[in-house]
């Protein structure tokens, strides 16, 4: 039997390249340009956050809990 999927915090920092992920803090007008609404669950997706993009491209996914979205 397959259980409910567990959600993990999205870890986008890359210690090998020195890339540090920053919160999505652009002005509202830019947020609308850099995000889209998921066709499956309706949640807004930050297009600059590949963790969110890949999650929302998975068929049959559920929305990411708000406390895990930065």
Residue 7 structure tokens: 């959600």
Which pLDDT belongs to residue 66? 85
Which pLDDT belongs to residue 42? 93
Profile the chain (70 residues) by mean pLDDT over runs of 10 residues: 59 61 60 83 88 90 85
pTM for the whole thing?
0.56
């Amino acid at each position: 039997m397959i259980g409910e999927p567990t959600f993990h915090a999205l870890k986008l920092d890359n210690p090998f390249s020195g890339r540090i992920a920053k919160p999505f803090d652009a002005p509202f007008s830019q947020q609308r340009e850099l995000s889209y609404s998921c066709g499956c669950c309706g949640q807004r997706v930050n297009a600059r956050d590949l963790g969110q993009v890949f999650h929302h491209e998975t068929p049959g996914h559920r929305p990411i809990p708000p406390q895990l979205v930065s």
